[in-house]
Structure 1
Amino acid sequence: MFENNDFYVRLGERIKEYRDLKLKITQEEFAERAGLSRPSIANIERGRQQISVLQLVKFAAILGMKPEDLIPHSDSPQSESLLESLPESASQYKDWITQLQGA
């Protein structure tokens, strides 16, 4: 688990942005397509609720994009601190996250 939720806040912002700009649908419509409740989508978009990789893949499919397109990119100033915030037990994921971010 991350020591901070910056990753999930930025991921949620990206999901909301694409939902609003690309699909132009409400949280309720997106929730129905994703098989979740509207409050869950609201919490995900605010970074309050973590999502599984399966949910990430499903959201990307609904949005008509690749899952890696939703991952916050390394060009953001907080990406390095995000990777550094991973606990030692999650070190095997650092390379994978870096690759997804396009670093």
Structure 2
Amino acid sequence: MMNEELIYGEIGRRIREAREENKLTQEDLGKLVGLTRTSITNIERGKQKIPIDSLYYFAKNLNVNVFSLLPNEGFLLSNVELPGNEEELQQFTPDVLNFAKKVYANSKKGEGES
């Protein structure tokens, strides 16, 4: 699932940035949230899923709002590529393109569930 990889990759990137801003090592953060350094490494690389309740521990120990660790819809839509010629797509407004990306992403998700 490409969206899932993007989501966990972006969460990991945001956790790493917050950890570095707090001048914590991966081992330090692991101790604070009850995980190993290896788990922190994997989370920061987007290779390990992180339960929602754990996000709150990360946010608390990194002194950030939990929502700052989550990618927004704009990030997810920016990674959706619509089929077609780039030149043709440029004629549409950003709102129309974002709507089309949502519809297209949902249709692709539905195909994977069959």
Asked which structure has the greater CA Rg, the reply is 2
CA shift for structure 1 position 82: 8.8
| 8 A contact 1:7–1:82 mirrored in 2 | no
Higher relative contact order (CA 8 A, sep 6+): 1
Tell me which residue corresponds to 2:9.
Answer: 9
How many residues get paired?
A: 85
| 8 A contact 2:15–2:69 mirrored in 1 | yes
Tell me, what secondary structure is at the counterpart of 1:49?
Answer: coil
| Superposed CA offset, 1:29-83 (max 9, x none) | 0000010000000000000000001111110011112211110123331277699
| Aligned-residue RMSD, C-alpha | 2.4
Kindly provide the amino acid, as one letter, of the partner of residue 52 in structure 1: P
Tell me which residue corresponds to 2:72.
Answer: 73
Structure 2 unaligned segments of length 5 or more: list them.
81-97
Q: TM-score, normalised by structure 2?
A: 0.65
| 8 A contact 2:26–2:37 mirrored in 1 | yes
| 8 A contact 2:18–2:64 mirrored in 1 | no
Give every structure 1 segment of 4 or more consecutive aligned residues whose post-TM-superposition deviation is greater than 3 Å: 79-83, 85-88
Tell me, what secondary structure is at the counterpart of 1:36?
Answer: coil
Distance 2:28 2:102 in 1: 31
Q: TM-score, normalised by structure 1?
A: 0.72
Structure 1 unaligned segments of length 5 or more: list them.
89-103
Equivalent residues in 2 for 1:25-44 (5 A)? 25-44=24-43
Distance 2:26 2:102 in 1: 27
| 8 A contact 1:27–1:38 mirrored in 2 | yes
Equivalent residues in 2 for 1:39-78 (5 A)? 39-76=38-75, 77-78=78-79
